[in-house]
A and B are shown apart, each in its own frame.
Chain A
């Protein structure tokens, strides 16, 4: 995730949320498994990836929505 933040600097803001400390946010998005990645565009969730994924797969998912 840190590498992706660097690679997409200026195009994608990458954040990390600790579900133990933020149970309401986790509940809001019906998160019942971690890690879960949510990709937001224009305030909407446009992609979700649940579980471990390698960098290349994540890049493919992000590239669908980033110019």
Chain B
């Protein structure tokens, strides 16, 4: 398994229990996106909610308990054109008879040069990581979905004020999150607004953001010490470029369950899901991938599993 979020670890759990001797290569962000959240209230089975890192710690322990090997490494390249497949990290090379891709998705950026220049100096994609730096300061959150609302509300613990910037006049977020955000006194909204620029790259730190109303064209410069970008995610599929079919947005195309364009290679979780993107759906698809992989391995002629690399 490449990836150790709910998808990768559930695939590992099921594979381990099926005696398939799974190996999980954790990746740089071991545990996936839930490591960057606090209380998870919508993962079934936890009436009082569960902390993201705790849930992932338990998933990891459970997979290991049944025999999954979990390696603290980062995959640098793969070769899916040979059998067994080759998976390389900076220190080792692994051969896999079957491969489950669970590399998830990473935060999207707005794409502004000023944004890129100021990452780590006021621009961030993770409220739980960096909120601490903005105690008593005014900040902005760009986005209109559940993640943006969660980030905004989390940040009110530190910030003096949070301005939510959204390009439309209605939020995408679920009703319950919207109501909470609207009720929070520290949060205000800039509707129909696009971020034109984040200042001040000359000073090397965020001092304000320039917003443009996409209905009226009016421009305003709002002083903020930080800008948190929460506009969605992009799937982590660079490793597989040219080897696996992906859709226009970069998501791995799956069919008949978790099958990819290469037999024996399966994909689960956010890397192949742009519709649901929940921890529970990722975990569910991880289970499916393990079952699909098991069926595939059962159907393989024995010699195809041996380390023969065809020229």
Contact = CB atoms under 8 A, between A and B. Distances in A.
Contacts of A32: 120-122, 124, 130, 133-134, 205-206, 225-226
B90 A56 contact: yes
Interface in A37-67: 48, 50-56
Given A52-B28, A54-B28, 13 more contacts: A26-B133, A32-B121, A32-B122, A32-B133, A32-B205, A32-B206, A33-B119, A33-B121, A33-B129, A34-B130, A51-B120, A55-B74, A56-B90
A30 B121 contact: yes
In the A-B complex, list the 7 residue pairs whose CB atoms are closest, starting with the nearest.
Answer: A50-B120, A33-B120, A30-B205, A32-B133, A54-B74, A52-B28, A33-B130
A18 to B, nearest CB: 12
7 contacts: A32-B130, A33-B124, A34-B129, A34-B130, A50-B120, A54-B28, A55-B74
A26 B90 CA distance: 31
Interface of A: 26, 30-34, 36, 48, 50-56
Main secondary structure of the interface of A (DSSP, over half): loop
B29 interface: yes
Nearest to B137: A32
A33 B134 CA distance: 10
Given A33-B124, A33-B130, A34-B130, A56 B76 contact: yes
Interface of B: 28-29, 74, 76, 90, 119-124, 129-130, 133-134, 203-206, 225-226
Contacts of B206: 32
Contacts, number: 48
A50 B122 CA distance: 11
Contacts of A51: 119-120
A28 to B, nearest CB: 11
A4 to B, nearest CB: 12
Residue among B74, B120, B124 with the most chain A CB within 10 A?
A: B120
Contacts of A30: 121-122, 203-205
Contacts of A54: 28, 74, 76, 90
Nearest to A52: B28
Residue among A36, A50, A53 with the most chain B CB within 10 A?
A: A50
Contacts of A56: 76, 90
